[in-house]
Amino acid sequence: MHHFSPNTIFYTPDALNERGKDIIQQYNPVEVLQTPQHNRLPPLEIGHYKAKSDILVLGRLKTLQCKWSGRSADYIAPSFANGCFGACAYCYVDRHKPVNPITLFTNVEEILQTIDKHVQQLPWPKKPNQTDEVYYTYDIGCNSDVSVDATIADSIRLAIDFFRDHPKAKATFATKFVNPTLLALNPQRKTRIRFSLMPARISKLVDVRTDPIEQRIQAINDFYQAGYEVHVNFSPVIVYGGKQWRADYQELFLQLDQTLLPEVKAQMQSEVIFLTHNRSQHEANLEINPKAETLLWTPVLQEDKRSQMGGYNIRYERHLKSKMMEVFQQIHQETIPWCHIRYIF
């Protein structure tokens, strides 16, 4: 995977615990600058991609709460990080900041204590649902890519250890990177990694600076054999080129079918999320990545959608989307019937 090597670190004073100091020392010599708030950096005369490559922010997460999800996980855990080295053209995290470098939160123990306190208050045994039959599931990478975060600090190792030993909870995260160091962490099936997949030629355009689709698929067997539960995440599904998107997904499914071991197929499940795009993100992408917008912004197929956060989004027109989902499920069932779809929308 790409090597993250910042040349500037911003920090808030309350982030400089032993972990924060170790991270700064790890990247020494770099420019180290204090900032009063991790989410309010001074004006940066730097481009979108350079910010993600060259800047690291250290902060202390103060909003410690677990939020209900019900889709990829039962709950979204407090974030260990925010932002990503990757620069996917559709990323919802980037919508909320003009410049969005990785922000790593150093109060890891507080975050884990919050999760433990939360799960201990839930009924036990858990009522089985589509997220898991036995354990309460917590997404630990909703605002970042855990595979990248694990190269910077010990937070992800500590989280995987925490969930491995917890009697009631398991972790889950989606990723577009392959980090071989995660293979040594012995999660004992108590962490579910979800590799995000789409047709490779489309990924090269919209999954900017992430690992190739072929590499992600090849890694699935390795991560299962290392003790992870491994699912796949078909997200976002982008419709393009008349029937071309159908042929490309069939090719992707065939590649999965030919690559995965029988024991991996036996435990494999998936989630499917069709594209939702954002108007302000579209306008920013016209400067950053205009070629991607030819795929993401297709008004003839889309309708307006006001998000819960008040943003102006667009999604595929509901009647068309219903037909698109039927087509996707048909190709999926014909090609990889062993891969159960946990949910699709």
Domain residue spans of the chain: 8-344
Largest CA distance in the chain: 56
The mean pLDDT value for 329-340 works out to 98
Place of tokens 């008040």: 310
Identify the pLDDT of residue 190.
Answer: 98
User: pTM for this structure?
Assistant: 0.96
DSSP 162: H
Angle between helices 213-225 and 244-259 (to 10 degrees): 30
Please check whether the domain covering 8-344 is classified as CATH 3.30.1490.190.
no
Is 110 in contact with 64 (CB distance < 8 Å)? yes
CA distances for 222 relative to 147, 171, 175, 202, 218, angstroms: 15, 18, 15, 25, 8
Is residue 242 scored above 70 in pLDDT?
yes
Is residue 34 scored above 80 in pLDDT?
yes
Which ranges constitute the DSSP H helices of the chain? 18-26, 48-54, 108-120, 146-149, 155-165, 200-206, 213-225, 244-259, 262-267, 279-288, 290-296, 318-335
pLDDT digits (tens, 9 = 90+) for 85-139: 999 999 988 766 667 899 999 999 999 999 999 999 999 999 999 999 999 999 9
pLDDT digits (tens, 9 = 90+) for 256-265: 999 999 999 9
> Band of the pLDDT at 307, cuts 50, 70, 90?
low
The values of phi and psi at residue 72, to 5°, are -70, -25
DSSP 4: P
Is residue 37 scored above 90 in pLDDT?
yes
- Exposed / middle / buried, residue 306 (Cβ in 10 Å: 0-12, 13-18, 19+): exposed
Is residue 310 scored above 60 in pLDDT?
no
Mean pLDDT of the chain: 95
Identify the pLDDT of residue 127.
Answer: 97
Separation of alpha carbons 7 and 30, rounded Å: 5
Is residue 1 scored above 80 in pLDDT?
no
Is residue 253 scored above 90 in pLDDT?
yes
Separation of alpha carbons 69 and 72, rounded Å: 7
Sign of the torsion formed by the C-alpha atoms of 229, 235, 239 and 245: negative
Identify the pLDDT of residue 98.
Answer: 63
